Homo-oligomer: A and B are copies of this chain.
Amino acid sequence: MKKDKSAKPVTKPIEGVMDQKLSRRDILRLTGVGGLGLLLGGTGAGSLIAARKASEPAPAALAANADTIPFYGSHQSGILTPAQNFIVFASFDLTTTKLAEVKQLLEAWTTAAAALTSGSLIGNVNDNPNLPPSDTGEADGLSPSKCTLTFGVGPAFFDGRFGLASKRPSTFADLPAFAGDALEPQWCGGDLCVQACADDLQVAFHAIRNLARIARGTAVLRWTQEGFQRTGGADPKGGTPRNLLGFKDGTGNPDVTDAAAMQEIVWSGSGDGPAWMNGGTYMAVRRVQLRVEVWDRSPLSDQENTFGRYRQSGAPIGAKDEFADLNLEAKDAAGRPVVPPNSHSALSHGDGSVKILRRSYSYSSGMNLKTGQLDAGLLFISFQKDLVKQFVSIQQRLAKSDMLNEYILHTGSAVFACFPGVREGGYIGETLLG
């Protein structure tokens, strides 16, 4: 438990506790995760619990649950988890060549991740003023904010440095070159990835910063990218967020609550590859810069034909409802397809037999100093059980003839094998390294 020169007892009125958000410190105190001593010490927090009837649910537990995504489980969180408002994505290069040190890192990251996702600071922060604090502190006082941390390894991890070449899933490799790729090395690849998502950008940043700090001597950051979805002024109808081209993005995504579909699309199963990936999934990440200035000069009808959807409603061209099926057979009076065959929707959909789970974020990274234009775009992320059969087959269609290609530039690319979930007492990647 961290010492705190200026800590005050929690003296919030009991009647308010169900309504208000609790701070990370409050939750720790109330749930006892970080400080059973304080709970029993007769402070406001202790009194608060004592005053409740035993039959009532503990308010802190409710508050914590609403704002906390469990870290431990059979799958990693941050995959089926409904997208939080922010992402800080980080790719790391290992600087060690000792597998034992990689394992130590993943064990240390596990301990840290359990703290970070539950809203706790890492370690005994203020125990010794003569040492650097064990947590960098900028999330102190902030709620857990649905923070999820999702870990994976890149194809390079199996290159022989660690004696794990034989463990590489047979189809797991860097993506092939796609027509029109404009990849820049500083946005590509990596030995390890951490996808930090949260409803508070400062919480997600704090997570990546502290994980990078813990990695010092073992791994270094290779690239990072922040991203956002709508972030506070959300559509009250809970509508599909819009990308920075002004179109709804994610309408056709599979239903994450459909367990059978997720097993078919996302999760690597027992017959799908090495046993260590059972319950894991493969991530494709593409940093897609949008040529917003060019897009903004295009007529609305061109924009809508490019997507194959109406901008305002998100409905497929020819339909009224955003979630109407994409009817690629429909013809207009002149016999032409209603939805252009080379539109982004039509090509992404193909014959409908191949699906991926998208979980993308917009990004805005100031100006591109080379072009003087906004460096804004999409951090495309998808999860699938087979990169080649799913992501690659769709992206090959798109790269070849998507009308959207005129307005986008793929500048970054990486793939990662995201481990199955972590069991309590275990560590990230245990099925591979254990």
Contacts and interface: CB of A to CB of B under 8 A. Distances in A.
Interface of A: 4-7, 20-23, 26, 67, 85-86, 88, 125-126, 128-133, 135-145, 186, 198-203, 205, 209, 212-213, 220-221, 223-226, 228-237, 239, 242-247, 292-293, 296-301, 303-304, 310-313, 315, 320-322, 362, 364-367, 369, 372-374, 376
12 contacts: A5-B313, A6-B312, A26-B236, A133-B303, A138-B242, A198-B232, A199-B232, A200-B230, A201-B201, A201-B364, A202-B229, A365-B365
A34 to B, nearest CB: 14
Given A132-B299, A201-B228, A233 B367 contact: no
Given A21-B233, A366-B223, A132 B315 contact: no
A86 B5 CA distance: 32
A374 B209 CA distance: 8
Nearest to A4: B312
Interface of A is mostly: loop
B374 A242 contact: no
Given A141-B242, A205-B364, 14 more contacts: A6-B310, A6-B321, A6-B322, A126-B311, A129-B299, A131-B300, A136-B245, A137-B311, A138-B245, A186-B367, A199-B231, A201-B201, A202-B242, A224-B366
Contacts of A299: 129-132
A243 B139 CA distance: 9
A246 to B, nearest CB: 3
A224 B367 contact: yes
Contact of A300 (B133, B236, B244): B133
A149 to B, nearest CB: 15
A141 B374 contact: no
Contacts of A85: 231-232
A322 to B, nearest CB: 8
B200 A313 contact: no
Contacts of A145: 232-233
List the 7 shortest-distance A-B pairs measured between CB atoms, nearest first.
Answer: A137-B246, A6-B313, A145-B233, A200-B233, A143-B233, A129-B301, A141-B235
Most buried by B among A126, A230, A292: A230
Contacts of A243: 138
Contacts of A22: 236
A312 B209 contact: no
B129 A304 contact: yes
